[in-house]
Chains A and B, each alone.
Chain A
């Protein structure tokens, strides 16, 4: 029996819709406000959700957007039912991700027909996933460590499938940090027109015990120019289509693969250390990538990779003319995490590094207008 979630702040209407639908042979889940409705959609994954637009806490449009943005609920057909029945309202509903629209009052016959139509529709094509690019053009600042820990925490957040993609052209260390021995990498990637979205890249990734998929860097350093622009864009596009979340370790060069990732990124994390050399490189990097990637979503992470005294944060912020988003304190357990192939976010979730990465994940969720974690 198909289940229908009804989200409407009018309790009388909820009951009436419940009667209509249950007489029509459906099971119902009732919710009288938006946040609760989203929670129930995530937990119970109904076959269809009926959403009222005019609700006091969260509008129906916001509910639709949230359900569409969440990989756990983005395949649920959404029927917007509202007293606002104008063409602009229909357009707004469809723009927010609704599958269809009905205006109140509605007869049971029309409602049941619409629900049946939605159940018979093929599931909506999944929206492209989110891509987070982690960049440092200077080695040794912990960009790979940060990318791996970000991916681990995103996987733990269970907001969709996660891929950690190592786009370094010369033996990157993402697989090493996860104790994997990859047998293939993106070096053999070729676009496959007509294939299922993301399939070409999924075949090159390998699963990892922490719930991640890993796309390894070339097993031997690439000679020459690496991927051309079209292939790089296709690769990044396939990553977005294939996974709910992709964390890209961009590697130390602004090659075509890195540029494609920056251009497609929903959030760009620039990693630096508190020393003069890193400040200079970061400043130059920010100038070089201005115009690439999400200008408003560039986050600066200051990674204390050593216990030694370093430049003060204020001086660094002044030098790079940017505010530092997150400071990752020095964590001596990081060296054992590297040798054991087990990221601190998994082995020691209360460590300073894991907490800082957790904060960063919440900043990213917030930027993407997704609920942050507790």
Chain B
């Protein structure tokens, strides 16, 4: 869901608010109590320039799209959210901020997309979908991730918002209790930036420090390729060293390691599989405190062969997160991610998973 920076001008297509801490995007309620047309900070979701407004408006929306902003009530936009907005989104369930750390095109987006697909298509008794404030964003993500070219999200036209990190929300009912997951949908470029100190030197990726769960992901395809496998291994080490040196990793969080695109690894044979195991073993040796007890997942989120079965299912990521909840609970600090928690409570919305 694109969010434009244009000021409200009568395009009634949802939107956002640039006022810090305003829960409008999530709850549809203005921090100042203003109606949309009166709020100078209100931004609108931009209409697709390909659309022909003269043809589209009457057929699609009849009356709503013709209205001025003062004549409609906004509903939660369903797009990706920031962590400050997450406070309004979740008043129930254990909030967990999840980061996947991996390089560009390592399969992070596909993993999230497939988790959503399985929740959408299957019923797994021990993990039930309870709601989401970002359902349309999940659909966008899934469709982008399924484009046959397999382009990374950064190449498929999705631009990161100004906050660099945007989050997908999944509220789940698990055996150990209710969870509100906030999955960071961060481009691999961010980690590349952090690694090589590129881009704006003043830029901080403070969101990373708020993670409750870090999933370190390797690209199994690269680990199976002679020319790429050492680079993939070393760059991950360099990246983690860099993130730790910059203080971006929450040491109290839980960690897991995953090799994605594992079907390619299996196809390459036992040697490639052993190599993956060795890479992960060496990583654990290097970071014994963080990773010694961390789960190791081998996932083919979208295998090239429909008959392929990898050792782990994409939903195993959720299972591992749920299993780590007691550990996370001790380190969790809601205050850190929700500066406007009181406001969220005042808003009194239970949008997707909360209760009054």
Q: Do A and B come from one complex?
A: no
Residues of B within 8 A of A (CB): none
Residues of A within 8 A of B (CB): none
